[in-house]
Amino acid sequence: MPQTGAAKPSSLLHKQIPIVTRSVKGKFRNFKTAVMVVAYSIYFLLPWMPWQRNSAADQAVMFDLESRRFFIFDLIVYPQDIFWLAMLLFIAAALLFFTTGLIGRAWCGYFCFQTLWSDLFILIERMIQGERPARLRLMKQPLGAEKILKIGGSHALMILVSLWTAITFAAYFSYAPDFVIALFTGHAVEAAYITVGVLTLTTYFAAGVIREHVCTLACPYARFQGVMYEADTLAVSYDSKRGEGLKGRTLPIIGLKTRDERQEKGHGDCIDCGFCVQVCPTGIDIRDGLQYQCISCGLCIDACNNIMDSVGYPRGLIRYDSEKNLSSDQPKPARLEWKRVKVIGYATALLIAAGILLYNIGTRNDTDVSVQQVRQPLFIMLSDGSYRNRYQVHIVNKTELDARYHLSVRGIPASSLDLGSLKEVRVRAGKSLIMNAKVDLERTIAQQTEKFEFVVTSSNPDTAPVVVPANFNSQR
């Protein structure tokens, strides 16, 4: 048999049919709307929230890269706290795995920013261009004033929303009121314009142009979700037994209107109205079963329930249910099955990580000290035969007030510490300082001393002294 290569070229090479969604009402739609309102309120308003501060601008949440501090209400995060970020990422991952194992891609369907912004842009399209049939009509129209105005107008609005999204993002990194004024008067820094420009373009491009392709082609999560799903995981599912019956779905033509008539003739409850497909933001048919394109937004459930109500059939032909339950002979009402090793394991990991993070944040000392020994040379012999070791003591003042720090030693004579003429150092609020310290020990003491401790005492009485171990080297 001759081998002639690929049977058909990749679908990437072909023009995709644009997805034009129909709007829908229902509890999942309401939940999505509520999430959007809450998320947008937080995202767009938070940079404008004032907060009393001593050492920085009065902004409740500000990621101040210039002073290398993140202000989150009364918590100030320093570069030394980078460990928290690692914990936060771990918590986010564990939370994602936990929810996916339990109720599928809840993140994708309700919380992901791609979903939120796509949802908003679909709303903009509907407000300007009308409902699905009107938009399909508009797409088929020859280019004219109405088409240019409506399609151009909705894209212009999307770009405006993208711009404000980008400006809001950048506003988290500097004092928002000043920043916005500087941005529009041309006085902001170059990086601000680049950030705003890139984010405006990417937001518009991702949510306004390529939309569902981000989920189906670009997002890695869609591809590895499969390993998190189990037979007991609740997912948006079509009850094909009920919907198809023995002879498949069919339209409710005369003689097939009531359930009894349909069941008698072997047809299922699905009246093939196609609404579940029309409302889908990724343009799939949920009746084909669980598929990687499904973002679990639940809009097809709303659409189907509305139809079931109108034809008088029971709700739940499309519903949240598990694969195991659906394939059983007598499907029970859908239930959250949490007593599973994976779910409990993820929950445990989540609790432990959250506990560690909270404990660490709660017990952080306001003075951060690290001591580095000068290693070139490791030790110096002085003219009287005693040994000198040198250290660089890095003190970070994590409080909102300037403080003075006193350095002393423990485990060796106090007089062996030499700071020159410096008695104590002043470190400004939120700043750090590296000071030189010399430790001279007599030959006999030096040869017995391997370790000692530096003690840093703050002038702020609320701050506990910090004890840092150090090594002493000499010729032994």
Partner 1 sequence: MSQDNNTNTTKTTGHVWDNDLQELDNPLPRWWIWGFYITFLFTIVYWLFYPAWPIGNNYTKGVPGLNSITYTATQPNGEQVEKTTHWNMRSKFMVEMNELQEAQKKWFDKVAAMPFEDVQKDAELMQFVNSVGKTMFTDNCAPCHQQGAQGKIGFSPNLADDHWQYGGTYQNIEETIVAGRNGYMPPFKEVLQDEQITQLANYVLEMSGEPHDAEASKAGAALFRSETAACFYCHGENAQGKIQMGSANLTDKIWLWADIPGSKTDAAKLAEVKRVITGGLNRGVMPAWSGRLSPAQIKLLTVYVHDSLGGGK
- Toward partner 1, which CB reaches closer, 27 or 426? 426
**What are the structure tokens assigned to 421, written together?**
């003429």
Asked whether position 1 contacts partner 1 by CB under 8 A, the answer is: yes
Asked whether position 11 contacts partner 1 by CB under 8 A, the answer is: no
Asked whether position 66 contacts partner 1 by CB under 8 A, the answer is: no
- Contact with partner 1 (CB under 8 A) among 24, 277, 308, 425: 425
* Measured CA angle at 169 (ends 168, 170), to 5 deg: 90
Which part of the chain contacts partner 1 (CB under 8 A), choosing from 1-9, 89-97, 164-172, 454-462? 1-9
Which part of the chain contacts partner 1 (CB under 8 A), choosing from 199-207, 339-347, 361-369, 432-440? 432-440
DSSP assignment of 21-41 equals PPP--SHHHHHHHHHHHHHHH
Asked whether position 433 contacts partner 1 by CB under 8 A, the answer is: yes
Radius of gyration of the CA atoms of the chain, in A:
32
- Toward partner 1, which CB reaches closer, 190 or 384? 384
Kindly state the smallest distance separating residue 405's Cβ from partner 1, in Å.
10
What is the distance between the alpha carbons of residues 300 and 289, in angstroms, rounded to a whole number?
13
Which part of the chain contacts partner 1 (CB under 8 A), choosing from 214-222, 318-326, 417-425, 446-454? 417-425
What is the distance between the alpha carbons of residues 141 and 147, in angstroms, rounded to a whole number?
7
Q: Which residues pair with 71 in a beta bridge?
A: 62, 76
- What x-and-dash track marks residues 359-398 binding partner 1 by CB under 8 A? ---------------xxxx--xxxxxx--x-x-x------
Compute CA distances 16 → 6, 55, 210, 336, 390, whole Å: 20, 54, 10, 37, 68
- Toward partner 1, which CB reaches closer, 334 or 381? 381
Residue among 143, 170, 168, 210 nearest 64 (CA)? 170
* Measured CA angle at 455 (ends 449, 459), to 5 deg: 160
Asked whether position 421 contacts partner 1 by CB under 8 A, the answer is: yes
Kindly state the smallest distance separating residue 459's Cβ from partner 1, in Å.
14
Asked whether position 409 contacts partner 1 by CB under 8 A, the answer is: no
Classify residue 267 by its DSSP letter.
Answer: B
- Contact with partner 1 (CB under 8 A) among 142, 333, 420, 461: 420
Chain position carrying tokens 């239930």: 335
Query: What residues have CB less than 8 Å from 404, skipping those under 6 apart?
Result: 424, 425, 426, 427, 458, 459
- Contact with partner 1 (CB under 8 A) among 9, 144, 186, 461: 9
What is the distance between the alpha carbons of residues 374 and 391, in angstroms, rounded to a whole number?
5
Asked whether position 77 contacts partner 1 by CB under 8 A, the answer is: no
Which part of the chain contacts partner 1 (CB under 8 A), choosing from 3-11, 177-185, 227-235, 296-304? 3-11
Asked whether position 262 contacts partner 1 by CB under 8 A, the answer is: no
* Measured CA angle at 79 (ends 427, 168), to 5 deg: 110
- Toward partner 1, which CB reaches closer, 386 or 460? 386
Identity of residue 143: L
395: part of which helix (H) or strand (E)?
A: strand 387-397
Compute CA distances 313 → 298, 317, 351, 428, whole Å: 19, 9, 43, 71
Kindly state the smallest distance separating residue 44's Cβ from partner 1, in Å.
33
Please count the residues of this chain forming the interface with partner 1, following the rule CB under 8 A. Answer: 35
Asked whether position 4 contacts partner 1 by CB under 8 A, the answer is: yes
Kindly state the smallest distance separating residue 401's Cβ from partner 1, in Å.
17
- Contact with partner 1 (CB under 8 A) among 33, 263, 436, 471: 436
Chain position carrying tokens 């047809």: 267
Asked whether position 333 contacts partner 1 by CB under 8 A, the answer is: no
- What x-and-dash track marks residues 207-236 binding partner 1 by CB under 8 A? ------------------------------
Q: Is the CA virtual torsion 165, 167, 170, 173 positive or negative?
A: negative
Footprint of partner 1 (CB under 8 A): 1-9, 12-13, 374-377, 380-385, 388, 390, 392, 418, 420-422, 425-426, 433-436, 438
